[in-house]
Structure 1
Amino acid sequence: MEIGRRRLPAVKQLDYDKNRIVWLAPAPANNTWTIAVRRDVADANRLRTLADLGAWLGRGGRFKLAASAEFIERPDALPAFQNAYGFKLRQDQLLALAGGDTSATVKAAAEQTSGVNAAMAYGTDGPVAALGLVALADPKGVQPVYAPTPIIRADALARHPDIAVWLKPVFQSLDAATLQKLNASIALEGRNARQVAAGYLKRKGFIQ
């Protein structure tokens, strides 16, 4: 993940030079592709990162992944994880689900559908933690970083420089666990997104 974040200054400069868009301080969360494992499996086998997963699979760990065909086949998705972390899943260790809906893959792992105990997921998916899964970290930075980041026109920021000051602590508070919880309120509890956001900002003291 740090590899991706080191590229941020270059991206910021390119957008400013071409479009006069200023990128402000990003959130620490990363909403990129990952693999999420059932918490009971993760805890029993001390799985916190994809490197841990690769080592565990090398020792014969029982594993079955629910994912979309795109995730399974795209060179920059599962194959990239396998190459980086030294594992190779057999066909009987994969359950391909139609479409790219991570709520379906996470649900399959939570319910152990067809023996599944892991799922394709995004880093801030609400159902991950809510349904008892753990998103594994990607220490080698295989996937691009998708960090929520506020952007603003340079002329608008020049007129209202306090915007950057106000937004910085808001976005700094948005780590993966926080966004998973907020997204779960919307995806699983059916709450209104605007109300969830407003409630969070009030609880944190960002607005009254």
Structure 2
Amino acid sequence: MKPTRVHRVTLISALVVALLAGCGLVSSSGTFHEAHLPDGRQPLDGAKLVVTSKSFTEGVLLGKITATYLAAAGADVKDLTGAPGSASSRQAQLNGDADILWEYTGTGWVNYHNETETIADPHELWQRVHEIEKRENNLEWLPPANFNDTYAFAASTPNAKRLHVKSLSEVAGMAVPDRTFCVDDEFFSRSDGFIPMLQKYGIPYNDPNGVPSGNVTRMDAGVVYTATAKGAPCNFGMVYTTDGRVKNLNLVVLDDDKKFFLPYSGTAVVRAAVLDRHPELRELIGTISKHLTDQLMQELNGRVDIDGEDPADVAYDWLKKEKLVA
């Protein structure tokens, strides 16, 4: 298995222990705001659902949004968002101890099923993961939302304008001294990371006509964002496309026009047995999914990671703003 993809800032909050049979799952807070659907319907009246998530900010936010909305639709929801690490929430769902979990198609393809083929088309990748997961684990990967939390490179707005750059192919066409990069150690060493990416774009690493080793600065992932915003020591830094710092620091995400990076489309995963009992979940979760975009996730993630707001509050405020709950 390739290294687990590291996500941005782990949510720090008081942990309420909620041990589940066989997996020791831990909840971030176990709370969300009470609400109801604007039309007063309760299509999930009588349903008992367990919503979990991983512990990084975006995962917790998606879990809180889902828990709040499904409870507003009448379900009795147990909130087990914020499971530490990547394995515990996944294992809880496989064990039948959790019903709903937001995942990423790239994670399913690479980390869960050890696939190495790069599938650039987001729909095709989702379809392939959907088929494997249904067949092997009886999990239903619902149609993905409209956001893709994948790797990318970004530049500060002044540098993007100065260098007239919008895509990685345009970076490849620059003078060698302008091809300066900031990356973290994990991304630098990945078999699907920095060095293969440079090869894909025809600017090989440690090549005087490509990207000399002196043009690359390796640093902590969190520092990459501020270094990129300052434009020193690099013009281009590795980012995650839905990270709140992209918007907060006014970074310009470059187009991966040769489709090197695997899509990481956000997807709600539901145990098939639960979906059979409550088919209304397809439409309800689909309503959430169609509202979620890269720009929105940047905003919501930033409210937690940068502004220090509670994920449950951010989830509730967004659902109210969109008139999905009242």
**TM-score above 0.5, yes or no:** yes
Moved more, 41-50 or 128-137: 41-50
Could you tell me how far 1:161 is from its partner in structure 2? Answer: 1.2
Could you tell me how far 1:69 is from its partner in structure 2? Answer: 2.2
Unaligned segments of structure 1, at least 5 residues:
none
Choose from 259, 279, 291 the match for 1:173: 291
Aligned to 1:90: 212
Q: Secondary structure at the match of 2:252?
A: strand
1:72 aligns with 2:188: yes
Could you tell me how far 1:105 is from its partner in structure 2? Answer: 0.5
Question: 1:53-75 CA deviation, whole Å, 9 max, x = no partner?
Answer: 222x2x45624222112322333
1:107 aligns with 2:226: yes
Q: Does structure 1 conserve the Cα–Cα contact (< 8 Å) formed by 2:120 and 2:261?
A: no
Could you tell me how far 1:199 is from its partner in structure 2? Answer: 1.2
Question: 1:156-189 CA deviation, whole Å, 9 max, x = no partner?
Answer: 1112111111111321221111111111111111
What is the RMSD of the two structures over their aligned residues, measured on CA atoms?
Answer: 1.9
Q: Secondary structure at the match of 1:137?
A: coil
TM-score by length of 2: 0.58
Percent sequence identity is 24
Q: Does structure 1 conserve the Cα–Cα contact (< 8 Å) formed by 2:225 and 2:239?
A: yes
Choose from 120, 124, 129 the match for 2:238: 120
Q: Distance in 1 between matches of 2:199 and 2:123?
A: 22
Q: Does structure 2 conserve the Cα–Cα contact (< 8 Å) formed by 1:27 and 1:172?
A: yes
For 2:212, the aligned partner's letter is R
Change beyond 3 A, Cα 1:4–1:140 = farther
For 1:175, the aligned partner's letter is T
Choose from 132, 148, 152 the match for 2:270: 152
Aligned to 1:5: 123
Could you tell me how far 1:49 is from its partner in structure 2? Answer: 2.3
Unaligned segments of structure 2, at least 5 residues:
1-118, 204-209
Task: List 4+ stretches of structure 1 deviating above 3 A.
Answer: none
1:28 aligns with 2:146: yes
Q: Distance in 2 between matches of 1:63 and 1:131?
A: 21
Q: Secondary structure at the match of 1:150?
A: strand
Q: Distance in 2 between matches of 1:51 and 1:63?
A: 12
Higher helix share: 1
Q: Does structure 2 conserve the Cα–Cα contact (< 8 Å) formed by 1:4 and 1:141?
A: no
Could you tell me how far 1:4 is from its partner in structure 2? Answer: 4.1
TM-score by length of 1: 0.88
1:205 aligns with 2:284: no
With CA pairs under 8 Å and 6+ residues apart, which has the higher RCO, 1 or 2?
1
For 2:315, the aligned partner's letter is A
